[in-house]
Amino acid sequence: MGKVHTLALFNNFEEAVRAIQELKGAHLPGFRIDDVVIKSPIDHPELSEMLGKRPVYVQLFTLAGAVLGGSVGFTLIASAQANFLLQIRGGRPVVPIPPDMVLTYELFILFGVLMTMLGCFIAWKLPGNRSTLYNTSISVDKIGILVRADPLVIPKINEIFARHQPLQIMGEHGR
Amino acid sequence: MKVRVKNCLIWLSIWVFSSAAMAEPFVQGGAIGSQTEDGFNALGPVVEQPIEFPHNTHAGQMGINCMYCHTYARRSGVSGIPRLDKCMGCHNLIESVKDRPRIKKLFEYWEKKEPIPWKKVHDLPDFVRFNHERHIQRFYFKEDRPVREVCGYCHGDIASMTTARRVKALSMGWCVSCHQKEHLESAGTTKTSNGPNDCWQCHK
Amino acid sequence: MIHTTDESDIEIERRFVPKAKDINEDIAWAQINKDVLRSMERPRLMYWVIFLASLALFSVGVYCEVYQYRNGLGAADLENPQVWGLYIATFIFWIGMSHSGTLLSAILHIMHADWRKPIYRFAEAMTTFSLMTAGLFVLVHLGRVWQFYYVVAYPNERWTWPNFNSPLVWDATAIGTYLTSSIVFLYFGMIPDLAICRDNAKGFRKKFYWFLSAGWQGTDRQWANFRVAYMTLACFLIPLAVSVHSIVASDFAVSQQPGWHITSFPPYFVAGALYSGCAAIITLFIILRYVFRFEAYMTMPILDKTCRLTFAIAMVWTYLNLIEYASAWYGNDEYAKQALIFRATGTYAPYWWAMNFLGSIVPFVLVFKSLRNHLPTMMVVSLLLNVGMWLERFMIITPTLAHGYYPWTWTGDWWPNWVQIGIVAGSFGWFSMLFMLFCKIFPAVSMYEVKEMVYHRFMASKARA
Amino acid sequence: MSNSNIDRRDFLRVLGISGAAATLAGCGNTSIESGAELVESYVQPEDFVVPGVGVFYASTCTQCGSGCGIMGRVREGRLLKLEGNPKSGISGGKICGLGQAGVQVHYNPDRLTTPMMREGETLKPVSWDKAMAVLTARLGSSSALSGDQIAVLTGEISGHQKVLLGLLLESFNSTNHVVYDALSPTIGRAACKAVLGVEQPVLQIDKARLILSFGNDFLGAGPSPVHMAAQYARFRKAPRGTLIQIEPRMTLTGANADRWYAIIPGTEGVFALGLAHSLLQHQEYAHAVSADIAEALKQYDKDTVSEITGVHADALSHIAGMLWERSPNLVLSGPAAEGHAHGFDNAAAILLLNLILDNRGKTLQGQASHPFPQLTPITGSTGALTRLNQAVTAGKCQALVVIGSNPVFTAPTFVPFANNLSKVPFKVAFVTQLDETARQCDLVLPLLSPMEDFGTHVAGYQPAGVDLMIQQPLMERLYPETRGLGDILLDLLKQRKPDAYKAFPDYYAYIKTAVTKAKPVFRTTSSDDNFWEDALRNGVLHLDGPPAALETHAAAVKVDKPRSVVTDVHYPFYFVPSVKADLRDGRHANLPWLQESPDPLTTIVWDSWVEIHPTTAAEMQIREGDILEVQSATGSVMAKAYLFPGIQPDTVSMPLGQGHTAYGRYADGMGVNTFKIFDPVFDEHTGELALYATRVIIKKTGEHANVVKDEGPTALQQGRKLVVTMAADQAQLAKEISRVTQ
Amino acid sequence: MSLSNLIKNWSSLRVKRPYEDQYKDKDYKWAMVIDLDACTGCNACTTACYAENNLPVVGREAFSKGQAMHWIRIERYWGEGEEMKGRFPDRGAQFLPMLCQQCESAPCEVVCPVGATHHTPDGLNSQVYNRCIGSRYCSANCPYKVRYFNWWQYPERAWPNPLELQLNPDVTVRSKGVMEKCTFCVQRLTEAKGRARTEGRRVADGEVVTACAQACPTSAITFGNLADDKSQVARTWERQQIKLASDRQEKDENLRGYRILEDLRTYPSIVYMERVRDSEA
């Protein structure tokens, strides 16, 4: 692979946006927009158009969890009720539907929630290693643009960054 | 965005296996792992008795029917310990072993007309009612199974022990595991039924 | 501009500012971080006072519980048929309190009401801790608390299962689900903030926040997944919260007793839950604002909005409350009618009238804008509302048990004794102790969301300009 | 239910149980254990002794004098529960609460387990040898006491214990057997004797179509409540009999009446004579009494009677009409009518109605004559205690033996028996548990409980034929340091007359010999041993016998000018003590089951209370739970008020039997002793203490306490269909299925 | 094999009870008839129950707090309406022995979280002490309020030595925190059933009765097997036109049998016979 990262920090969100637009327009060899990662203190959904299609699969996990939780939950509860020792209570059927639906409903939600969290963690590639290119000021108010590219084009990228008043440009091996 | 398939698989397989492990007892009943034939083996402590009674001699070598001595088992909830005069009935006549220390002890109790303070080995909790009579009547008399098998299912192979020692868990799940099985109603028929599944049958 | 409680300021606001801003959009983002992180540092004296008072109260509860545990529940002067006393009443109260967080956070999140942002974090924490407190009451009221695990459906050597027909099992499941989900929701919404903490902490705390922040770096992919997941969680939490309190209501509505067997109980309980939760948010809002000097974030306009919401819910509750009376009154069930009359005229009548007054009349204070912006008044009113809501729960449990189907076993003058009162008081100590601890370990105001709020408002005002 | 057919004494000796006494089922052991407990193990038990299987042994209940046959369930050597013995004609397989509680006499934690001897102010435990030495020194062979110098004070006693006591006294040339019963039926019995010629007629309740009862609580604390209850059950089946009760305070029987009337206490006789007058208007009764009585009865017109008795005049003619309509019927007098200065006259007047209505032989019969009169009980009286008290005061009594009687507790204040006891140089008490009297004695010997001892009993009330009830041990003695009364008496007798009793090693041998000797009477051909074993197995020896004929002495009825009850300005309230069926005179107050068994009418437990009519209470502004002081001329007690509608408004009522000070943990400090406020009023005819003639004044103390009762804040059904009542003419009882047959 | 059981027996697991002839082919359905006209309120049944079932004597203090443990209690009512207008209770008191009604559709059974109370095949409403965790929900939901909770550790205080020797070894001594109630003397029933089973027959009528029925001096309490057509209880139910699975009996007016709070659809197993009073008296 041999690709390396570079990170530029911007004070101004508009400058950062312009930097990305310039990167897109620069037609650098081996550069794809997917290689650009924006690190920001708040969510910027407005950037999604510019960054191209970056799909989110969390919903699939949610769906799987909820359906599994509901159906398996009902089966388990009903079969536990049909267990040898389970007795008739209060004249109700041994496997009563309304109470089981209540419990199924709860399990549906519980596993939906748990799987959503799990799916999100998977999407975040946990427990994989994080990029070391990070600056604590990102969590305050700065915008970071992380680009993964061929080492040869890194200087060119940095040049583009430099045109947009970056606070700092960081490479993978020291500054 | 690329979902890392490997990560995904790891998480999902953990999920599926743990769910399956959780589900097994739901489907089968009981605790994880208790399904196996010997899932309930649990050796109890050694209980020191006033006289080290050799079951292996009586039931093992001589092959005496358990209920010859434990005579209450077929007509009472408790099987009971043999009464002292029962022991004496035979041992008064067996001259050959009269000088053995255990027999001497027996005679001492008899002389004093004092009951032997046997200790309970198979002691269920006080809220449990186990009825020997019903089990013996069903499996020994009606189903005509060998006495060692009938008694041994709960008490283990007593004929190989000296003083008795608990070998089964005697836990509720163990009782239930047998009650839910279909047993022949009596010898010579194919009709089966299982044990009662009513809580009050055993709990008092 | 930082809003203060000065009378003159209120005056000025009303006269000259046509619409007060929820938050000052000029506030520097670094300042936000600084203000919130400051609240997690070495506490003020006031913090210690509140914390130690809570601890003392909690110890009283623990003492009473130990006493009750040793002697049996007779020590709490419970009797046949007054079998539940304050325990279940307070249990419902705490479950009700837990609904505030969900309401503010999840519903308002889905509706993109961004004024929730500075206050939803502590509301969610309140949810979690009230649930934990409510869970304690489930244990406290058990005769054999050491056997509580019989309720849990897990494979065991007895081969037995709990009774899935029982509303208490639904309760256990629902509360377990709700507690899990609300912790997930609280934690999930906190991840970007935990990253901030991680970036600012040292030593052991850094490790702690490092672990909890789950590698958060604020990348666009993380944000995108976060956004979807958080929205999904919010969507799950709303029906869950409704179901939890409906199930608690089912404990009573499913049963047969007069005064309990009422169709409108589930919505009535949900409304009551939201109501008491909102009132509690007002209380905690005022306390946090004062203790942690969050005047810049927990602003008066936000309080104003919360109060208006509370009033709306109060009216919903009042309506459902009247429906309950009306259905007993016009219904054909003589037993229920007798139970209602007993509530209004019997031993516990003063409390019944007090509950109706506090729950339905006192909220009209919230109609007046000047009073809504007066913190001491709001503090008193919110506490009164909560007292009213606690009384509501008391009035559900005690009179019905005192006046059931069977006249021979009616009780004339049953009152809780010191053990019960001590344990109830201890639960408040336990709750506020947990809450105070939370505020020192986790950011009580969501930093990233306040930034978003400030950012969006700034952009909007720029666009307007 | 296998009954024993072996020698009971041998059985107990050879059983040799281990482990049984130590285990307490259900308590503690909650997990699988090994070696922690002992197995029940026997040496040489009988074949029917099977561990885990309960065996029933027949015996006789000694809780009251009814002589009900009981069965004790015994398992692993422990007595567990008592049931009625179906072979007993008296109990018919049923048992009352009081009888059930017999096991608690036996297992009472406050039982006396060793002999006690006075050392200065206190009683100290001593060995049996020492105790017997002291006893024989005073009452043994060397004793010089004779005649009135020695007295034996007992409660109602029958059977061979009574015989042995008599023989012991005889050896002192004494007949000083004082039988004291604080709730004595003496007056009523005297009236019966005078009018009907027998002291205790047999009541054929089930045969009556109408029962008119003047304060007779035959379902509660009557002479044979279990038997009467069974009779009552039959009485209520088709054709259903009607019960009318007239009394100042509602008793349990009154609570079951079809119609209940409140009457001013002491005026029952007037009402009865009013009824008699009314009845004589009918032709068929016109000649039932002599002309002069009929003439005298004319003074008892219904308005006069109504004014005196406080019962509405219409009620009188209505009842008279019903009595006339429904025959055979039965008119009963009870303690509430008899316990007055003119109690005898009241009872006689009431019995007169039976004569007029010709109930003799139909619903009233005489008892069959008993073949062993020496075994029949002596009826106790308070007069007996008064006479003993005089003897003691005069210093005549040198030695006093107290058995089954607690006069220190039950004697009213004007019989200062407790203070006089110190004048007796030697007082010995035979008890199972220390009570107030035993604590004042010099020597106290612990007896076997009735569940551990042999005995024979004859009931005072023999419903059909005659029974000799056998009492046998139901389990091995709990305490080695206790002995049977019979054994002690026999020991003393052996000292006094060694020759006569040397054939009997112990009381068991004595009783066995005595019972088998009676074999010819029972016309059986079985061997002596079989006869004895059968007696033990059945618990009863029954002999059919024709009921004795009743006589008619209408002249015994005194028909004076109608007298109204004099009111007392200082003590405006009539005081009616209520006798609880289970506490009786207080001797059972030490039994926790009975203390916790609610009083049927008020549902109050563990306490004394003052019953007062709600209207009276409203006038005096008394609420339930207000502590009232009830003061009579002789004393006062304080108790909580209970508003009770079933009481005559000028009357207050308090239960007897509570207020013990030294009778064990379950009795002490519970309620107050109402025996101590009785006025010294005596029946003019018999001289017996009139229990229902006390007048009191009620004062509010201003204090208040919750009444400990089972009843909730309401005693109404609040529209629920809980107890539904059907009019008798609607119910088709004859079509119902019933095990109770005529 | 719970899952296969579920699939195999789905339809039988979905049956609602009670239904007509539910016990027709069964061996046992224990039931009771209490004749209120015969009941005199003497409390013999209560004491018999204390003796048979190891009920603790709670003492004055606890009793005053409403913590009494009588499984069968005698209630005393003073009449309603007209009867109460007079100065005195002219028709006597109204006694009602109230014990667990062993409802066929018992409200208590549904709500127990751990299933400590359930319905036995004999139609009893059971209570398994060692399973009970003491949530007291059953008691709160019982319309008759006949469930009693162990508020104190009675084994330590109710039977000072040697009173404990009286305890029935067939009945558990309940510790604190456990709910208890009338069991219809199930220990007797189990013993009788076992004996009958060994002898290959059904328990005969009158062979086993509860302690209260056995003691009752007026035989007001009849206990028996409703599944046995010839038993006295079954015949009385039949004659009184009481149907087990009906919540509103259509019966002749002059029949005395009724069940208490039947309209709550609890389907009690105890039929009470109306008290009779002679209105002419």
B touches A, CB cut-off 8 Å, minimum 3 pairs: yes
Residue D30: predicted pLDDT: 63
The CB-side HSE value for C148 (13 A sphere, CA atoms) comes to 13
Average pLDDT on D31-44 reads 75
Local confidence band at B10 (pLDDT 50, 70, 90 cut-offs): confident
The answer to whether the CB atoms of D712 and C408 lie below 8 A apart is yes
* D469 class by beta-carbon count within 10 Å (0-12 exposed, 13-18 middle, 19+ buried): buried
Q: How large a percentage of chain D has pLDDT more than 90?
A: 52
| C124 Cβ neighbours under 8 A, 6+ residues apart | C101, C102, C105, C182, C185, C186, C189
pLDDT digits (tens, 9 = 90+) for C235-248: 999 999 999 989 99
Q: Tokens for D702?
A: 């201003």
Tell me which residue of D132, D38, D57, D99 sits closest to D593, measured CA to CA. Answer: D99
**Chain D residue at shortest CA distance from E38:** D233
Average pLDDT over residues D641-664: 93
Which residues span the domain enclosing D225? 202-365
Neighbouring residues of E278: CB distance < 8 A, sequence distance ≥ 6: D240, D242, D258, D259, D727, D728
Average model confidence (pLDDT) for chain B?
A: 82
In a domain, E33, yes or no: yes
Residue D714 binned pLDDT confidence (cut-offs 50, 70, 90):
confident
Residue C108 has pLDDT above 80, yes or no: yes
Instruction: For residues B138-161, give the mean pLDDT.
Output: 89
Residues in contact with E156: Cβ distance below 8 Å, sequence separation at least 6, in sequence order: none
Q: Least CB-CB distance to C157: which of B1, B24, B171?
A: B171
Q: What is the pLDDT of residues C336-345, one digit of tens each?
A: 888 899 999 9
Point out the least confidently predicted range of A33-37, D455-459, D538-542, D672-676. Answer: A33-37
Residue D528 pLDDT greater than 90, yes or no: no
Domains in chain B, number: 1
Chain E residues whose beta carbon lies within 8 Å of the beta carbon of residue A78: 6
Please report whether residue D69 resides in a domain.
yes
Confidence of residue B132 (pLDDT cuts 50, 70, 90): very high
pLDDT at position D193, please?
92
Q: Which domains does chain A have, with CATH numbers?
A: 4-52+127-171 (3.30.70), 58-123 (no CATH)
Inside any domain, residue D671: yes
E1 within domain boundaries:
no
The sign of the torsion formed by the CA atoms of E218, E221, E224, E228 equals positive
Domain count, chain E: 1
* Chain A residues with beta carbon closer than 8 angstroms to that of E101: none
Strand partners, B14: none
Can you tell me the mean pLDDT for B119-142? 89
Task: Examine the domain organization and report whether D282 and D340 are in the same domain.
Answer: yes
Helices and strands per DSSP (H, E), number in chain D: 23, 26
Whether the ω angle into residue E18 lies within 30 degrees of 0, i.e. cis, is yes
Chain B contacts of C158, Cβ < 8 Å?
Answer: 171-173, 176
Residue in chain E lying closest to C150 (CA): E114
For B40, nearest residue in chain C (alpha carbons):
C157
CB spacing of C142 vs E134 below 8 angstroms = yes
* C-alpha–C-alpha distance, residues A8 and A13, integer Å: 12
CA dihedral A61, A64, A66, A67 (to 10 degrees): 170
pLDDT at D254: 93
More confident site: C280 or C22 = C280
Over residues C130-154, the pLDDT tens digits come to 999 999 999 999 999 988 889 988 8
- So what's the pLDDT on residue A143? 87
| Superfamily covering domain C43-152+161-464 | Formate dehydrogenase/DMSO reductase domain (1.20.1630.10)
pLDDT at A31: 78
Residue type, E238: E
**pTM score, two decimals?**
0.91
The DSSP bridge pattern shows strands A4-10 and A143-149 to be antiparallel
Question: What pLDDT does residue C45 have?
Answer: 85
Specify if B11 maps to a domain.
Answer: no
> Residue B107 above 80 pLDDT?
yes
- D386 and D472 part of one domain: no
Confidence of residue D21 (pLDDT cuts 50, 70, 90): very low
Whether residue D255 is predicted with pLDDT greater than 90 in this model: the reply is: yes
pLDDT at D464: 86
Please state, for a pLDDT cut of 90, what percent of chain E lies above it. 61
pLDDT in tens, A69-123: 999 889 888 888 888 776 788 888 888 999 999 999 999 999 999 999 999 988 8
**Does the pLDDT value for residue C424 go beyond 90?**
yes
Task: Pick left, alpha or beta for residue D73 (phi over 0 → left; psi -120 to 50 → alpha; otherwise beta).
Answer: beta
The per-residue pLDDT for range E40-81, each reduced to its tens digit, is: 999 999 999 999 999 999 999 999 988 999 999 999 998 776
Residue of A103 and A29 predicted with greater confidence = A103
Q: For the beta carbon of residue A133, count every other beta carbon within 10 angstroms.
A: 20
CA angle B96, B100, B105 (to 5 degrees): 125
Question: Nearest 10 degrees: CA dihedral of D104, D106, D107, D111?
Answer: 110
Q: What is the pLDDT of residues C352-366, one digit of tens each?
A: 999 999 999 999 999
Q: In sequence order, what DSSP letters do the residues of C85-116 get, joined into one string?
A: HHHHHHHHHHHHHTHHHHIIIIIHHHTT-GGG
Task: Select from D712, D716, D717 the Cβ nearest to the Cβ of C409.
Answer: D712
Domain coverage including residue E269: 23-273
B22 vs D77 pLDDT, higher one: D77
pLDDT of residue C297: 87
Of C440, C452, C447, C455, nearest in space to C31 by CA: C447
Residue D568 has pLDDT above 60, yes or no: yes
Q: Which of A86-90, D230-234, D299-303 has the lowest mean pLDDT?
A: A86-90
Q: Which positions ≥6 away from A167 have C-beta within 8 Å?
A: A9, A10, A11, A137, A142
Question: How high is the pLDDT of residue D3?
Answer: 38
Cβ–Cβ < 8 Å for E224, E204: no
E13 CB neighbours in chain A (<8 A) are: 81-82, 93-95
Q: How many CB atoms lie within 10 A of CB B189?
A: 10
Contact C407 D718 (CB under 8 A): yes
Question: Is there a domain that residue D736 lies in?
Answer: no
- Contact criterion met (CB below 8 Å) for D93 and D86: yes
Task: Please check whether residue E14 lies inside any domain of the structure.
Answer: no
Residue E105 belongs to a domain with what CATH number? 3.30.70.20
Domain ranges of chain C: 43-152+161-464
Q: Considering CB atoms only, which of D38, D44, D53 is closest to B120?
A: D38
Give me the residue from B22, B30, B169 closest to C159, CB to CB.
Answer: B30
Contact E3 A94 (CB under 8 A): no
| Closest in D225, D645, D665 to E88, CB measured | D645
Q: Report, in angstroms and rounded to the nearest whole number, the Rg of chain A calculated over CA atoms.
A: 25
pLDDT at D2 over 50: no
pLDDT confidence tier of residue D19, bands split at 50, 70 and 90: very low
Q: What is the rounded average pLDDT for all residues in chain C?
A: 88
Q: Which two tokens stand for residue D303?
A: 């308005």
Q: What is the reported pLDDT for D16?
A: 43
Given a cut of 50, is residue C290 above it in pLDDT?
yes
Cross-chain Cβ contact A113/C236 below 8 Å = yes
Q: Rounded to an integer, what distance in angstroms lies between the CA atom of residue D234 and that of residue D742?
A: 6
- The DSSP bridge partners found for residue C147 are none
Domain membership of residue E255 (yes or no) is yes
For residue E281, being part of any structural domain is answered with: no
Q: Which D residues, 690 through 709, put their C-beta within 8 Å of a C-beta on chain E?
A: 706, 708
Residue C5 has pLDDT above 60, yes or no: no
Q: What is the mean pLDDT of chain D?
A: 88
Confidence of residue A25 (pLDDT cuts 50, 70, 90): confident
Q: What pLDDT shows up at residue E270?
A: 95
The verdict on D238 touching E (C-beta cutoff 8 Å) is no
- Per DSSP, the residues of E128-162 read -GGG-----HHHHH-TT--EEE--S-HHHHT--TT
Burial annotation C146-180 (CB, 10 A radius, 16+ → b, else e): ebbebbebebbbbbbbbbbbbbbbbbbbbbebbbb
Question: What's the domain count of chain D?
Answer: 4
Peptide bond into B125 cis (omega under 30): no
Q: What is the pLDDT of residue D500?
A: 85
pLDDT tens across D84-132, in order? 999 888 988 999 999 999 999 999 999 999 999 999 889 999 999 999 9
Residue B114 domain-assigned (yes or no): yes
Chain E environment of D26 (Cβ under 8 Å) = 54, 155, 167, 169, 171-174
The verdict on D138 and D66 lying in the same domain is no
Does the CA dihedral A99-A102-A104-A106 come out positive or negative?
Answer: negative
Indicate the residue among D509, D529, D558 that finishes a domain. Answer: D558
Say whether both D56 and D103 belong to one domain: yes
- Burial class of residue D478 in the structure, from the number of CB atoms within 10 Å of its CB (0-12 exposed, 13-18 middle, 19+ buried): buried
Q: How far is B73 from chain D (nearest CA, A)?
A: 10
- The predicted-structure confidence for C314-348, as pLDDT tens digits, reads as follows 999 999 999 988 888 888 888 888 889 999 998 89
d(CA D365, CA E33): 34
pLDDT at C311: 93
Among residues of chain D, what percentage have pLDDT more than 70?
95
D266/chain E closest Cα distance in angstroms = 19
How many of the other CB atoms lie within 10 Å of CB of E81?
A: 9
Looking at mean pLDDT, say which of A34-38, C101-105, D691-695 comes out highest: D691-695
**Quick check: D346 pLDDT over 70?**
yes
Q: For position D270, what pLDDT does the model report?
A: 92
Instruction: Decide if pLDDT at D170 tops 70.
Output: yes
Give the residue-averaged pLDDT of C38-48.
Answer: 84
Residue E17 placed within a domain: no
Residue C459 has pLDDT above 80, yes or no: yes
Share of chain C above pLDDT 90, in %: 45
- Taking only residues 26 to 45 of chain D, the set having a beta carbon closer than 8 angstroms to any beta carbon of chain E reads 26-28, 30
Average pLDDT over chain A reads 84
pLDDT, residue D739, reads 61
Chain E, nearest residue to B77 by Cα:
E191
Reported as a single tens digit per residue, the pLDDT across A136-156 is: 888 888 888 888 888 888 888
Give residue D569's pLDDT. 86
Question: pLDDT confidence of E180, banded at 50, 70, 90?
Answer: very high
Q: Is the pLDDT of residue C202 over 60?
A: yes
In the numeric block, which tokens belong to residue D206? 């089930």
Averaged pLDDT, D635-653:
93
Query: Rounded to an integer, what distance in angstroms lies between the CA atom of residue D507 and that of residue D520?
Result: 22
Task: Give mean pLDDT, residues C385-405.
Answer: 91
Chains near A with 3+ CB pairs less than 8 A apart are B, C, E
